[in-house]
Amino acid sequence: MNMKRVNFGTSLALVCISLLLLFTPIAAAETETEQESVSTHAKAAALIDVESGRILYSSHADEPMLIASLTKIMTAIVAIENGDLSSKVKVGKNAFAKEGSSLFLRQGEEMTLENMLYGLMLRSGNDAATAIAEHVGGSEEGFVYLMNAKAEALGLGHTHFANPHGLDAKEHYSTANDLAELTAYALHNPVFKDIVKTQMKTADNPYDKWDYKWSNKNKMLRLYDGADGVKTGYTKKALRCLVSSASRGGQQLVAVTLNDGNDWNDHATLLNFGFNRFPLKTIIERGEKLKGYELAAGLNFSYPLKQGEQERIVTELVLNSKRGAKKRADKNFGLRGTLVLKLGNAPIGKVPVYEPGRLPPETSPYMEKYASTSAYPADTWLQAASSALRALFRFGAEGGVSHD
C-alpha cells in the first residue's frame, strides 16, 4: 500500500515506507555499553530495560556460555504459556531423585503445575523441571523442542537448550544478552512475574502433616530495595550465574551475570547504574494530539534515556494513502497510520495514530497487538536471522550438577 509523505513539525523528515513497517519490529537505538561507567567481576554481563527492551550495558554479552539453572526461566515461561496451571503434574521415574538441587518429590506424587512452578523458580528443583517438561511437552525431548522453538521465535540467536533444568550438557548454552531479552519478555507475563518475586511459598504435601514451605534462593529480594526477581544458577562448570530484576519509579530493569563470584554486589551496582543513568521517560501519551494534524496517539510510549538524549529524539509520521484510507480507518477503529520514533538515526519504536475520539479501548485485541511491540530490543531481527548459526557453538558433553 502506498503511503502519503507528510511533514510533522520541525522534527519530522520526509518518509516513504511500505505498510510492512507498521507490523514489523524495528531495531532499537544504538546500545552504548559505557564500560567505563560500571564494571563487574562477571565473565559476561548485560542490563536491560524491561518495557523498551533497550540494552543499557553489556560486556562479552553475545558470547555463548553455560547458564546452569538460569535455564529455568525458559522452562517456566514455556510451561506457563503451554500448560494448564490447575492441572496435576505427576512425578515420574525420570524426575524422581534427579541429581542436583531438588524439591525431594516422591515418585508418583502429584502437584498442580502452578505449585510445581513455584518450586522450580524458588528452590530450583531439577526434579520439578523434569516433571514439568514431561507433563507439558509429553516428554523431556518434546518440551526441549518447545524451548528451542520459543528461543527462535524470540530471536535469541545465540541460545540452544538440551534440557529443562540446566545441568551442563552439549549444545546447552545462552548469552547474557539473550537471557536479558528472554527475561524481559517473560516479565510481561503476570503469572511469571508473580512467581519470581515471591519470597516464601507453601504447597500441599500429600505425604506429611506439614505443607511444603519454600523460601526463595534469590537473596537479591532481601538485599536490594525494589528487587522483584528472578533466578539463581550454579554448576561446577558454569559457576555462579544470576538474573535479577528490580523496579523503581515505574521502571523495571533486569541484570544478568554469568560466571561471577561477586554477583550480589555486582547486580546492585548494575541496577543502580541503570536507574541513575537511564531513567524511563514518557515520550508520548495515549490520546495526545499530533501538532498540525487531526490525529491522536494510540499508545503511551516511554523509553530509558540518559542525559541529553531526549533532545535527539525525532519522529516520522507515516499516513495511509488517500486511496481507500477512509474505508480502512472505519474498519480499524479509525487507524490512520503510524508514528515512528528515532533516537538520532536509529528507530526505537512506533505508535499507531488514530482519528481523535476513535481510539480503540486499550484492552481490545487490536490494541494488544501493538502493546507488546511499541518498543523493540536491540538487534532482535538480526538475531532471528542468524539463528541458524547456533549450531556453530558447542560445549563439552560432560555433565555437571546444579547446586543453586
DSSP 155: T
Q: Quick check: is 124 catalytic? A: yes
Per the structure block, which three cell numbers stand in for 268?
A: 546492585
CA atoms within 13 A on the CB side of 162: 20
Measure the CA–CA gap between 162 and 145, rounded to whole angstroms. 9
Measure the CA–CA gap between 240 and 94, rounded to whole angstroms. 26
Among residues 101, 102, 124, 244, the one annotated as catalytic is 124
Residue 200's identity, in one-letter code, is M
Measure the CA–CA gap between 148 and 298, rounded to whole angstroms. 34
DSSP 35: G
Per the structure block, which three cell numbers stand in for 129?
A: 523441571
Among residues 43, 72, 98, 150, the one annotated as catalytic is 72
CB 46 within 8 Å of CB 57:
yes
DSSP 13: P
Across 175-207, b (16+ Cβ under 10 Å) vs e yields bbbbbbbbbbbbbeeebbbebbbbeebebeeee
CB atoms closer than 10 angstroms to residue 85: 13
CB 338 within 8 Å of CB 22:
yes
Residue 61's identity, in one-letter code, is A
Q: Quick check: is 69 catalytic? A: yes
Burial degree of 282 (CB within 10 A; 0-12, 13-18, 19+): exposed
Torsion of CA 375, 380, 385, 389, to 10 degrees: -170
Among residues 69, 101, 174, 387, the one annotated as catalytic is 69
Per the structure block, which three cell numbers stand in for 266?
A: 555486582
Residue 140's identity, in one-letter code, is E
Bridge pairing between strands 227-233 and 241-248: antiparallel
Q: Quick check: is 291 catalytic? A: no
| Nearest C-alpha neighbor of 343 from the set 67, 134, 60, 54 | 54
Number of H helices, E strands in the chain: 11, 16
- Residues annotated as catalytic are 69, 72, 124
